[in-house]
């Protein structure tokens, strides 16, 4: 059943704004941590284009008699081009996220692929003009909308599938060589694999371009650009959730205080612990202190240039350090002298 104007307006007011809110949260987290980079720049541009797209789309579907005809034609062209702008800046943001985590030959290859993405976006941008300007009759209808046809649908399918395959394969290849726990690797691969969701939505949009058109095509385009923006933010959001969960678990298991016996290095550590025992020590006549004695095998780590240093997942080189003892104060009890 074809979509209605009211359904389209509801989607305009719900789905793209939600995707924009997710982007604002991602940028806030990156800014607070001092981690802003080119992937954040492109997702910011993507969000701006999505906001303008929603505004132009609401003008496009309003009462046809409120705007002059040439203004309505211009608004349609804005919507068509802003759709490509949102989708491709989202893909470029994902690609730069992978570039950020890569190095060496793979990093250079991904930079070249970014240039290819820009070139593809430019070709699709131009295709709208040369297809629509060859059939000017659509400009005279009450709500002007160009019939993009078979050529545009084929170009969209080919570009969408190939670009999404690249965006799935590149992070998979990167994570393959990183020293992470197996469960964490699987979760990260699953996050990047969500690009396939955007592929499925883009195929539906191409079908609407070819077979349905009209309001349904507009609705499919809006859903596709919103999903593209959400997918671009998903890896960062999931990493933030993992980190908050890890911090909460660390806070819940932290002792009251730690007294260290031995050398301390100013580097990140993985500590192999073995408990020697617990004891209650009387300090003076009135205070009892429960002390946990822990034997620590200090393994310190150094990050390599190819490590994933943004989301907290580094490729690390482990080194053996000296043993040490820790006295962990679990509790204190104060009494009264009788």
The first and second tokens of residue 282, run together, are 């009387």
Domains contained in the chain, CATH given: 5-249 (1.20.1070), 257-334 (no CATH)
pLDDT, one tens digit per residue, over 223-237 is: 999 999 999 998 888
CA-angle at 22, arms to 17 and 23, nearest 5°: 95
**Mean pLDDT confidence for 313-323:** 48
The DSSP letter of residue 180 is: -
pLDDT, one tens digit per residue, over 45-78 is: 999 999 999 999 888 888 777 888 889 999 999 9
Q: Which carries the bigger pLDDT value, residue 218 or residue 23? A: 23
Report phi then psi at 99, rounded to 5: -60, -40
Closest CA to 211 of 135, 298, 150: 150
Per-residue pLDDT at 15 exceeds 70: yes
Residues 6+ apart with CB under 8 A from 275: 292, 293, 294, 295
**Mean pLDDT confidence for 307-325:** 47
Specify the range with the lowest mean pLDDT, choosing from 60-64, 106-110, 174-178, 198-202: 174-178
Distances (CA, A) of 274 to 135, 157, 290, 295, 323: 78, 58, 18, 5, 11
Specify the range with the lowest mean pLDDT, choosing from 67-71, 152-156, 323-327: 323-327
Give the model's confidence band at 322: pLDDT under 50 very low, under 70 low, under 90 confident, else very high: low
Specify the range with the lowest mean pLDDT, choosing from 45-49, 100-104, 107-111, 199-203: 100-104
The first and second tokens of residue 270, run together, are 């993985």
**Average pLDDT over the chain, rounded to whole?**
76
Per-residue pLDDT at 335 exceeds 70: no
Contact, 272 vs 296, CB < 8 A? yes
257-261 and 269-283 strand pairing: unpaired
Q: Write down the pTM of the prediction.
A: 0.71
Task: Identify the pLDDT of residue 224.
Answer: 92
- What CA–CA distance (Å, rounded) separates 261 from 124? 66
Per-residue pLDDT at 187 exceeds 80: no
Overall residue count recorded for the chain in this entry: 338
Give the model's confidence band at 257: pLDDT under 50 very low, under 70 low, under 90 confident, else very high: very low
The first and second tokens of residue 1, run together, are 């059943």
- What CA–CA distance (Å, rounded) separates 254 from 250? 6
Per-residue pLDDT at 326 exceeds 60: no
Using CA atoms in the order 114, 116, 120, 122, what is the torsion angle rounded to 10 degrees?
A: 80
Task: Identify the pLDDT of residue 90.
Answer: 95
Closest CA to 124 of 157, 102, 75: 157
Task: Identify the pLDDT of residue 25.
Answer: 94
Task: Identify the pLDDT of residue 280.
Answer: 47
Task: Identify the pLDDT of residue 183.
Answer: 57
Task: Identify the pLDDT of residue 245.
Answer: 67
Task: Identify the pLDDT of residue 279.
Answer: 47
């Amino acid at each position: 059943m074809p979509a209605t104007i009211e359904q389209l307006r509801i989607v305009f007011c719900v789905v793209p704004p939600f995707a924009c809110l997710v982007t604002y949260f991602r940028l806030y987290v990156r800014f607070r941590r001092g981690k802003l980079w080119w992937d954040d720049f492109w997702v910011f541009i993507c969000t701006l284009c999505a906001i303008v797209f929603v505004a132009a789309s609401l003008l496009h579907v309003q009462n046809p008699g409120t705007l002059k005809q040439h203004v309505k034609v211009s608004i349609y062209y804005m919507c068509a081009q802003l759709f490509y702008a949102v989708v491709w800046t989202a893909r470029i943001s994902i690609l730069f996220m992978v570039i950020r985590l890569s190095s060496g030959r793979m990093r250079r290859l991904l930079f070249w692929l970014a240039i290819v993405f820009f070139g593809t976006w430019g070709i699709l941008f131009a295709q709208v003009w040369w297809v629509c300007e060859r059939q000017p009759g659509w400009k005279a209808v009450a709500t002007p909308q160009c019939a993009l046809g078979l050529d545009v649908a084929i170009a969209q399918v080919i570009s969408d599938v190939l670009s999404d395959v690249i965006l799935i394969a590149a992070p998979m290849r990167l994570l393959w060589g990183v020293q992470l726990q197996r469960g964490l690797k699987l979760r990260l691969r699953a996050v990047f694999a969500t690009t396939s969701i955007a592929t499925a939505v883009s195929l539906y949009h191409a079908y609407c371009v070819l077979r349905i058109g009209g309001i349904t095509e507009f609705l499919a385009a809006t859903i596709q650009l919103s999903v593209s923006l959400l997918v671009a933010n998903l890896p960062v959001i999931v990493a933030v959730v993992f980190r908050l969960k890890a911090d909460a678990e660390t806070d819940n298991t932290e002792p009251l205080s730690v007294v260290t016996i031995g050398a301390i290095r100013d580097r990140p550590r993985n500590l192999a612990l073995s408990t020697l025992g617990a004891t209650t020590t009387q300090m003076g006549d009135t205070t009892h202190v429960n002390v946990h004695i822990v034997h620590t095998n200090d393994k310190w780590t150094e990050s390599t240039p190819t490590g994933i240093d943004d989301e907290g997942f580094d490729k690390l080189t482990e080194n053996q350090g000296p043993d040490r003892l820790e006295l962990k104060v679990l509790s204190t009890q104060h009494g009264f002298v009788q």
